[in-house]
Structure 1
Amino acid sequence: MRHDLTTLNLVLAIEQTRSITRGAAQEHLALAAASKRLSDLESRLGVQLFERRARGVEPTEAGRALVRHIRSLHASLYALETEVMEFSRGIKGHLRIAANSSAITEALPPHLVGFSQAHAQIRISLEDLTSAEVQAAVAEGRADVGVFTPPLVDNRLQTWVVGHGRLAALVPLKHPLSAREEVTFDDLLAYDLIGLHAGASAQELMREQAAARGKTLNARWQVRGFDAIAQLVEAGLGVAVLPEQPAERFTRVFGVRSIRLEEPWAEREYVLGVLRQQRLPTVVQRFVDTLIPRDKQ
């Protein structure tokens, strides 16, 4: 079923003005022509989009759903126009990267520096998602490449290990554990844990480890962002488990101490994933080449 932009814009204008008359005027259409466009669209879709009332119109549930899609379409068209116009300014491509928070702070920065210096005419966008969301974004084409921590949950991806990291405990300076050189997860379970939002790889890993011990994770606080976690730890609201590199940086900014987490699962891999296909797009292949030697691909 094909829809023209004029009619879709009319629907959006009617929803915004709550009036077919004002919507038609906003789109520079005669009222009769606008009414016919709306009627034809409702006939094709087989649903009523607006309820006529004494003081104007109100969108039905179907109308609200259509408006959401029209707004999404407008955003996509704007992104399309912006990206194509960039070629006139010398931009030679756009690389969309999705990565989890740990990868952004530990694994990606040196690779991004090298790639951006070697390919200054490629625009890069980076989105912070959970590891599962990263894999879904790449598999569904919403991102070109992803960097995340295992497990791999989508076999549509081709993957390579691109780095290693380690988890550490973060505690307030005056905490009972602060004098220790290393702690176990059992040590941390005796205290309230400040963690990332549900779905974050480290959070899910801790939940699994607690369950394996027959214990409950006392995750009273869940926030987005390592900085927020460090500030809550400094305030004495609990302890946390973070990637070692940002944890060490926070010791120079906040009143916290980073302690080695002595657990086998504290060692982690960072994985680069792309959609499995016969031939990668040129921009994606260049990024893969930056991270993975050709003989290892």
Structure 2
Amino acid sequence: MRLDLTSLNLVLAIEQTRSITRGAQQEHLALAAASKRVSDLEARLGVQLFERRSRGVEPTEACRALVRHIRSLHASLHALESEVVEFARGIKGHLRIAANSGAIAECLPPDLAAFSQAHSQIRISLEDLTSAEVQAAVAEGRADVGVFTSPLLDNRLQVWPYRSSRLGVLIPKRHALAGRASVSFKDLLDFDLVGLHAGASAQQLMREQALLLGRTLNARLAVRGFDAIAQLVEAGLGVAVLPAVPAERFSRVFEVSLLRLDEPWAEREYCLGVAAQERLPAVVQHFVEALCPQSMKIEKLKGISQ
């Protein structure tokens, strides 16, 4: 089924103006031609798009669904045009990166800056997602590269170790745990916890560990962003488990203290993943080599020996 852009734009204009006449004028079409386009489209799709009323038209549910896709199509076309135009300005590629909040807060920014400086003709876009969302985005082609914490949830990815990380505990300055250097997760379960939104890898990990201890997680508040977590902890609304690097920065800015989380699972690994393929695109290859040089060197040596 072929749908032309003129007819789709006409549907959008009619939906916005609630009038075939005004929609036709907006799209510079004769009224008769516009009416025929709508009728042909309805016949092709097998649905009614508009209910004719005495003072115009009312979009049907089928029309509203179509309009959502038309707007999405417009956004994609705009992105397509912007990206292609960039090649005329000297841009040689576009690297779409998806990463979880921890990687963005701990280690990714300086590496992105160094890569961008070394490859100034490659445009970089970065999206903040949960580790599970990152893996899905890469596997489905919505991102070229993903940075996330283990475990690997999608076997369609090729993965390299990127950086090590450690979880720490943020508490208010005046708290029952204040003065301690470290704390066990079991001890934390006696207090309200401030955490990231559902789906965040650290949050899921804590739920699993609480279940193993036969306890429940008192997740009092869930927010997006480590800085929001730090401010809530400072206000005395709970304690928080988050990557130690940003937690240490917050301990210098807010009235909070950083404790060591005395658990083996507090040690985490960030992974860099791409969609499994025989040969990586040049832009992706350069990025992986820049962030995981040792792993790529070992792979090349294995290839030579084979």
1:1-297 pair list within 5 angstroms: 1-293=1-293, 294-297=296-299
SS at structure 1 position matched to 2:252 = coil
Partner SS for 2:219: coil
Determine the C-alpha separation between the residues in 2 that align with 1:198 and 1:167. 18
The one-letter code of the counterpart of 2:140 is E
1:53 & 1:168 partners in 2: Cα distance? Answer: 63
Per-residue Cα deviation, 1:108-154 (whole angstroms, up to 9, x for no partner): 12321221111011110100000000000001111000000011111
Question: 2:44, 2:210 → 1: CA distance?
Answer: 55
Is this contact kept in 2: 1:161–1:270, CA < 8 A? yes
d(CA) in 2 for partners of 1:224, 1:159: 26
Mean alpha-carbon deviation: is it higher for 202-211 or for 103-112? Answer: 103-112
| Contact 1:99-1:127 within 8 A present in 2 as well | yes
Tell me if the contact between 1:107 and 1:164 (Cα under 8 Å) persists in the aligned partners. no
Where 1:179 maps in the other structure, the secondary structure is: coil
| Greater alpha carbon shift after TM alignment, 266-275 vs 99-108 | 99-108
Computed over aligned residues only, the root mean square deviation of the Cα atoms, in angstroms, reads 0.8
Alpha-carbon distance between aligned partners in 2 of 1:105 and 1:231, rounded to the nearest angstrom? 16
Q: What per-residue deviation string (whole Å, max 9, x for no partner) do you get for residues 22-56 of structure 1? A: 11110000110000000000101111111112221
What is the SS of the residue equivalent to 1:64?
helix
How far has the Cα of 1:58 moved from its partner?
1.5
SS of the equivalent of 2:94 reads strand
Instruction: Give the number of equivalent residue pairs.
Output: 297
Report the CA distance between 1:292 and its aligned residue: 2.1
Which whole-Å CA distance do the structure 1 matches of 2:251 and 2:49 have between them? Answer: 57
Q: In 2, Cα distance between the equivalents of 1:197 and 1:56? A: 44
Q: TM-score, normalised by structure 2?
A: 0.96
Shift of 1:69: 0.4
SS in 2 for 1:127: strand
Between the aligned partners of 1:123 and 1:282, the Cα distance in structure 2 is 14
2: CA distance, partners of 1:113 / 1:266: 28
What secondary structure, in the 3-state scheme, does the structure 1 residue paired with 2:242 have?
strand
2:65 is matched by which residue type in structure 1? A
Does 105-114 or 229-238 show the bigger shift?
Answer: 105-114
Residue 51 of structure 1 aligns to a residue in which SS? strand
Match for 2:205: what amino acid? L
SS at match of 1:252: helix
Deviations 1:86-108 (A, max 9, x none): 11111111100000000111131
Deviations 1:210-235 (A, max 9, x none): 11111110001000000000000000
Separation in structure 2 between the aligned mates of residue 257 and residue 108 of structure 1, nearest angstrom: 24
Question: More deviation in 82-91 or 287-296?
Answer: 287-296
The aligned amino acid for 2:18 is R
Moved over 4 A (4+): none
Look up the equivalent residue of 2:271 and give its one-letter code: V
Q: How far did residue 296 of structure 1 move?
A: 2.8
Which residue identity lines up with residue 243 of structure 1 in the other structure?
Answer: P
